[in-house]
């Protein structure tokens, strides 16, 4: 269900979705009020919901839509303004699954292409996960069937196959001197939870985070991380020295790397091309950290689409460091952490609420 007061945006998104073999547009609506009034008849799996609309805006429509269809996946769409970034974060706390920034102009080819790619991937992965969770172990009764838009195979909603236990590596015997974190879809919520409980780590060691997120949004995220952790957190600045007691966040639209600076480390912001379709990307941070801290690296890969962080994590492990991945049950999308886990590079694959206590123990000297 596409909900946007711009006929151009509605038409563009609807065409993109209609071109995909595993999804279709169940409705194209102009206002949040239209969506609320028609949600029970339409029964979509996913709603792409604009923020600024007449009659009823997106943030006001969000709780009403979820009240009428609890399992609805809502992706908030907005232009890149500070106000809309703040509203998008509020939407996440109210139950939205994710957000996506709309290009300022659909005539800007590169921006429209990125928006197209990201939107389709978010719909596909978030929608498929929601439908797997909603599917009962036995065949549903006929009365439940209309809740599904369309049965399609063999797209990625297929039942998971039985897998062998994932290989685990021992934690490094080297004392970690830095904490690196990578995240994407579902990452803001996961990061808030994590940093709130790793105060003892932040106080003694630097924490560097790459979250797949556009400019303006990372500015707001850094402010939220500072409040959640009760520690200094900010978007990294090119050339600044890396110090314990601080959280450094890769700014939207630029890769964050680190380089040696005497006995210390310094931030380098890279305006190069996307890596793994992302900018900022996790792999550049992970790979660059090896030259600075060698094997004394603790890295965490949280919820997110794709496989960003897996290759960098593999290099960290080869250098003597360790990788922890968030488990599938607590991930919004088990793409990035799943790629690391299935590659056999993780020392632990943990529920989100167990990662912080584990980190506190590891940075306090525990090596198991």
Average pLDDT value for the chain: 90
Whether 117 is catalytic: no
Q: How many CB atoms lie within 10 A of CB 277?
A: 14
Torsion angle of the four alpha carbons 202, 203, 206, 212, in this order, in degrees rounded to the nearest 10: 30
pLDDT surpassing 60 at residue 328: yes
CB 255 within 8 Å of CB 284: yes
Looking at the structure, tell me whether residues 129 and 191 fall in a common domain.
no
Q: Which structural domain range is residue 275 located in?
A: 178-363
Domain containing residue 126: CATH number: 3.40.50.2300
Task: Please confirm, yes or no, whether 308 is among the known catalytic residues.
Answer: yes
- The answer to whether position 84 is within a domain reads yes
From 26, 88, 184, 288, the catalytic residue: 184
Is 78 marked active-site? no
Is 333 inside a domain boundary? yes
- What is d(CA 289, CA 283) in angstroms, rounded to the nearest whole number? 10
Residues 106 and 235 placed together within one structural domain of the fold: no
Are 190 and 283 in the same domain? yes
**Residues linked to residue 235 through DSSP beta bridges, in sequence order:** 249
105 and 213 share one domain: no
Domain boundary residue, one of 72, 106, 133: 133
Residues 79 and 188 in one domain: no
**Catalytic-role residue among 4, 308, 327, 331:** 308
Given 71, 98, 133, which residue is the final one in a domain?
133
Please indicate, yes or no, whether residues 216 and 124 belong to a single structural domain of this protein: no
Task: Using alpha carbons only, give the angle 293, 308, 76 rounded to the nearest 5 degrees.
Answer: 125
Residue showing tokens 């303006």: 216
**Which DSSP helix (H) or strand (E) runs through 300?**
strand 297-301
Q: Around 221, how many Cα atoms within 13 Å sit in the side-chain half-sphere?
A: 30
The tokens describing 301, both together, are 């890969």
Catalytic residue among 125, 212, 224, 255: 212
Query: pTM of the predicted model, to two decimals?
Result: 0.88
Q: The domain that contains 286 carries what CATH number?
A: 3.40.50.180
Q: Are residues 210 and 332 in the same domain?
A: yes
pLDDT digits (tens, 9 = 90+) for 147-199: 333 333 333 444 444 455 777 899 999 999 999 999 999 999 999 999 999 99
Distance in angstroms (rounded) separating the CA atoms of residues 106 and 15: 14
Q: What's residue 156's pLDDT?
A: 41
Q: 180 pairs with which residues across the strands?
A: 208, 299
Long-range Cβ pairs for the range 7-12 (8 Å, 24+): 8/106, 9/50, 9/77, 9/102, 9/106, 12/106, 12/112
In the chain, pLDDT over 70 holds for what percent of residues? 89
What's the pLDDT score for residue 11? 94
pLDDT reported for residue 167:
79
- Per-residue pLDDT tens digits for 235-264: 999 999 999 999 999 999 999 999 999 889
The CA-atom distances, in angstroms, between 208 and each of 98, 139, 158, 346 are: 23, 46, 36, 19
Please name which of 303, 343, 327, 290 lies closest in space to residue 172, comparing C-alpha atoms.
290
């Amino acid at each position: 269900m596409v909900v946007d007061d711009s006929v151009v945006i509605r038409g563009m998104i609807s065409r993109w979705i209609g071109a995909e073999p595993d999804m279709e547009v169940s409705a194209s609506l102009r206002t949040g009020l239209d969506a609320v009034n028609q949600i029970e008849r339409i029964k979509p799996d996913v709603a792409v919901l604009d923020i600024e609309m007449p009659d009823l805006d997106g943030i006001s429509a969000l709780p009403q839509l979820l009240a009428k269809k609890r399992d609805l996946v809502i992706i908030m769409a907005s232009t890149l303004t500070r106000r809309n970034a703040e509203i998008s974060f509020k939407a996440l706390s109210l139950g939205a699954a994710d957000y996506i920034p709309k290009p300022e102009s659909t005539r800007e080819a590169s921006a429209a292409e990125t928006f197209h790619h990201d939107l389709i991937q978010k719909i596909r992965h978030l929608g498929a996960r929601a439908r797997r969770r909603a599917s009962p172990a036995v065949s549903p009764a006929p009365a439940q069937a209309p809740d599904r838009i369309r049965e399609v195979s063999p797209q990625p909603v297929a039942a998971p196959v039985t897998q062998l236990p994932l290989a685990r590596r021992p934690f490094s015997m080297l004392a970690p001197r830095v904490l690196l974190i990578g995240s994407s879809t579902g990452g803001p919520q996961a990061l808030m939870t994590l940093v709130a409980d790793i105060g003892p780590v932040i106080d003694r060691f630097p924490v560097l985070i790459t979250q797949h997120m556009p400019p303006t949004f990372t500015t707001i995220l850094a402010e939220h991380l500072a409040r959640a952790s009760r520690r200094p957190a900010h978007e990294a600045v090119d050339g600044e020295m890396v110090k314990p007691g601080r959280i450094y966040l890769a700014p939207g639209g630029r890769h964050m790397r680190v380089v040696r600076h005497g006995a210390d480390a310094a931030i380098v912001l890279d305006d190069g091309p996307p890596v793994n379709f992302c900018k900022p990307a996790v792999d550049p941070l992970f790979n660059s950290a090896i030259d600075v801290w060698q094997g004394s690296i603790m890295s965490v890969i949280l919820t997110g689409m794709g496989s960003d962080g897996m290759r960098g994590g593999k290099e960290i492990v080869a250098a003597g460091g360790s990788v922890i991945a968030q488990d599938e049950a607590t991930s919004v999308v088990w793409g990035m952490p799943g790629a690391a886990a299935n590659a056999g590079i993780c020392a632990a694959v943990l529920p989100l609420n167990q990662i912080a206590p584990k980190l506190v123990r590891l940075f306090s000297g525990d090596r198991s």
